[in-house]
Each structure stands twice: as C-alpha cells, then as structure tokens.
Amino acid sequence: MAQQVSSLKLLAALLLVVVCCFANSCCNHQTQTQAIAAAWPENAVGIGVDGGVLANDIVVGDVALAVSRDANNCFERFLLESRNASNTYASAYRACQMLGRQRRMEFVSAEWSTRQEMEEQVTVMCKNLCDCVQIVEDLEYFQCSAQHSYKSVHTMQQVYLNSSAAIVELEDKYEEAEKEMLLCIISAEQQYVDASSKAFLKLSKCLKAT
C-alpha cells in the first residue's frame, strides 16, 4: 500500500509540472523541482535539475531511478577502452593470418624452380611420345616408342623422387608457418585479455570511488 501511495504521488507531481509548463511560459527549473519535492518531500534525495534532467539520483524507497554522472563516466571510459582493445586484437589477428600466408608463399617460391624443371621434363617426354604416334611406318613407330619410353622411365623416376622430396620439405615448412601464425595469434589474444582485464579493474575501482 505504501508503494502504491508513493507511485501516485510521483504521478501527481509529474502531472503538476506538465500543467505548470503549459499554463505559464515562465515556469522554470526551480518551479519544477519545488512541485516534485512538494509531492513527496519525505522521499526526495538530492533533487537538482540540469537541462530539464535530474542531475543527481532520486531514490523512491530503496529503488534508484538514475545512475550518477560519475558512474556514467566510469562506464564510458570502460567502453572506450574495451573498444580499443577489441580493435587492437582484430588488427593483430589479421596481421597474424597475413604472416602465415606470406610464409607459405615464400616456401612455395623456394620450390618453384624444382616445379619448373619437372614440368619441362614431362613436357619433353610427352612431346617425344606424341611424335612417335605420328609415324606411319610400323617398325619406325615401335623403335621410336621404345627409345623414348626407355628415356621416360628415367624421367618419371626423377619426377617421382623430386616430388616426394618437395612434399616432405613443404609439409615441414607449412607446419612451421602454421606454428608461427598460431603463436602470433596467441600473443594477440594475451594482449587482448590483459587489456580487457585492466579496463575492468579500472571500472571496478572507478565505481567504488563514486
């Protein structure tokens, strides 16, 4: 019942302020404050008006109706520092991914000469065998095919061995690049966590000081 009476007093006070402002153009902040205070003087705490908005907290019973300016400033600084930490982490994360891609490209470039050499060998081998197909005379055709097939065996062995060595080399280097990228990301995550924790601790201290 007491809470209902307090709510009715609050509503009556607000209606009184509205009627005052529309009825008299000279109605000022002081008149509004006096009207509100007259409605529930026993519950008004630190009433003040700043630009039409209550400057301090107004407490009706045990319920806080507004957050103090100091607390607002605390949260604004916290949000700003949190955004800065997030932006820094996002930039660092993208940089780590770029680093990983660059490392892989460097390793591929190192094996590029091996790939070119293999492609040239295979191209020559295929051309020689295709030339044999164009021969009309049977004996000459089989002689050509036998000769270039024998050479092709050596070529294919070299292609196999070089490819196998390149696979081992690239797998090892790709793993190295992946490890470097992951360590970079972990470092960025650590910086983000530290910055976020620092911002939260500052917020807690700021709120306790208000």
Same structural domain for residues 89 and 171?
A: yes
How many other CB atoms are there within 10 angstroms of residue 200's CB atom? Answer: 13
Q: Where is 127: in which H helix or E strand?
A: helix 112-133
Mean pLDDT of all residues in 108-114: 85
Do residues 121 and 160 both lie within one domain? Answer: yes
Q: What is the pLDDT of residue 67?
A: 54
Number of structural domains the chain divides into: 2
- Within this chain, do residues 51 and 92 fall inside the same structural domain, yes or no? no
Based on the fold, state whether residues 26 and 77 are members of the same structural domain. Answer: no
Query: Do 108 and 51 belong together in one domain?
Result: no
> Residue 113's domain spans which residues?
70-209
The pLDDT value given to residue 162: 92
Joined together, the tokens standing for residue 62 give 């045990």
pLDDT, mean of residues 83-91: 95
Residue 59: which residues within 8 A CB-CB, separation 6 or more?
43, 45, 65
- Do residue 203 and residue 104 come from a single domain? yes
Residue 81 has which token pair?
């520092």
Q: What is the pLDDT of residues 44-62, one digit of tens each?
A: 444 444 444 444 444 443 3
- At 107 the pLDDT is 87
Calculate mean pLDDT across residues 57-84: 70
Lowest mean pLDDT among 60-74, 76-90, 105-119: 60-74
Please indicate, yes or no, whether residues 81 and 48 belong to a single structural domain of this protein: no
Residue 6, SS3? helix
Q: Which of 92, 71, 30 is nearest to 207 (CA)?
A: 71
What is the spatial distance between Cα 129 and Cα 149, in angstroms, rounded to a whole number? 7
Whether 20 and 81 share a structural domain = no
Residues 87 and 173 in one domain: yes
Q: Is the pTM of this model over 0.95?
A: no
**Residues 49 and 103 both lie in one domain:** no
Grade residue 72 by pLDDT with cuts at 50, 70 and 90. Answer: confident
pLDDT digits (tens, 9 = 90+) for 146-155: 999 999 999 9
Percent pLDDT > 70 in the chain is 68
**For the chain, first and last CA: distance in Å?**
33
158 and 60 inside one domain: no
Q: Which of 35, 66, 97 is the last residue of a domain?
A: 66
For the chain, what is the mean pLDDT? 76
Distance CA 190, CA 198 (A): 12
* Longest distance between any two alpha carbons in the chain, whole Å: 122
What confidence tens digit (pLDDT) does each residue in 163-206 have? 999 999 999 999 999 999 999 999 999 999 999 999 999 999 98
Segment (H or E) for 138: helix 138-209
Half-sphere exposure of 196 (CA within 13 A, CB side): 11
Res 36 pLDDT > 90: no
CATH of residue 194: 1.10.287
